Chains A and B, each alone.
Chain A
Amino acid sequence: MAVWLISLFSLTNEAESIQGDLLEEFSVLAAKSGAHSARGWYWRQTIKTLPRLAGFGFRTAPWITAAAVAGGYLLRKLVAPLVDTVTFAVIERYPVLFEHHFRAYLFFASTGLDIEHLITFLLIGFIVAFVARQREMVATIVLALIWAAFALSGSAYAVIRSGNDELLWRLAWYIADSFAIVVAGAIVRMHRLAVKPRPVA
């Protein structure tokens, strides 16, 4: 898991050296102090290393990463209303069907809509990750955090205004949307790592 995280966040040319260095020190530590202690050390190193790798990835290509995040945000703004419009257009197109299958109607108008938004976020995550070459995780995590921040503040505002704390349940979907963006980033990164040949010494 820790090795996988390092490969997700590091630039392709440095992942090999960092993983090799960690493994080399891990083997020495495991022989000296035991596997448990060595695993703890490995995880501490990984957790401290990830923000550094993310920061370095951003600093080496700030404009393309920022453009991918901004583009993803705007795309989401553009596409979100269309999801609702298309769903309700389909419902209205087949009124007889939904009159006989009221449960299906309820599903499409509530949970179905949430699932469609989730898929939309996943697709936007793919596009953002595709644009932010080698910085897939940085770009998608930043976009997910921005979206989560908006969702949190919006939900808090809605609950305070309406006094209806059941609205907080909506947050679970919003957080899932943000998570979908990051998952898309990880999928694209893993795909790129799988197709890219290892650098020649």
Chain B
Amino acid sequence: MNLFYIVEIMRERDYLGEFEHIIVLALLRLDDRAYGVTVRQEIELRTDREVSIGAVYATLDRLEKKGYVTSHRGDPTPERGGRSKRFFRITAEGAKAVSRTHRALQSMTEGLGFIRSHP
């Protein structure tokens, strides 16, 4: 078994962390409107937890390093003091990772009826 095959297998088994999972789902929801502000607001709106922009970027950068997300810069805008937006998009690898994680979570929660009775 060669090294590249082992690395490939390890990558196949890589699950997303909790916050990574949430971020990737936010990217999927926002599609081509996903940048720092919208991602942060989407997470706050849906999870009801205050999220810092630093946490969003640290996670997005980590996901980009893993190849699950790509980013590109938009045009500078005046309401941002002439600074450009950095848009994020999920890659095919990222989509695979989110389904893998989702399947694992579904499988782990299957039959655990108490989750529904303990909000």
Contacts and interface: CB of A to CB of B under 8 A. Distances in A.
Given A52-B58, A201-B84, A21 B79 contact: no
A95 interface: no
B92 interface: no
Contacts of B100: none
A54 B116 CA distance: 39
A18 B36 contact: yes
Interface in A1-15: 14
8 contacts: A16-B84, A20-B36, A20-B77, A21-B53, A23-B81, A48-B54, A49-B52, A199-B73
Interface in B1-37: 35-37
Nearest to A47: B52
B102 interface: no
Interface residues of A, number: 24
A55 B59 CA distance: 11
Contact of B80 (A14, A20, A48, A55): A20
B37 A201 contact: no
Contact of A201 (B52, B55, B75): B75
Contacts, number: 79
B84 A20 contact: yes
B74 interface: yes
A27 B79 contact: yes
Interface of A: 14, 16-25, 27, 45, 48-53, 55-56, 60, 199, 201
Contact of B52 (A14, A16, A45): A45
Contacts of A53: 54, 57-58
B53 A14 contact: no
Contact of A25 (B37, B65, B86): B37
Contacts of B79: 23-24, 27
B37 A18 contact: no
B40 A21 contact: yes
A45 B79 CA distance: 18
A172 B89 CA distance: 51
B52 A20 contact: no
A52 B57 CA distance: 9
A14 B61 contact: yes
Contacts of B84: 16-17, 20, 201
A201 B55 CA distance: 23
Nearest to B36: A21
Contact of B55 (A20, A22, A23, A48): A48
Contact of A20 (B40, B54, B62, B83): B83
B57 A201 contact: no
Contacts of B61: 14, 56, 60
Contacts of B81: 19-20, 23
Q: What are the 5 A-B residue pairs with the smallest beta carbon separation, nearest first?
A: A49-B54, A20-B83, A52-B54, A48-B52, A21-B36
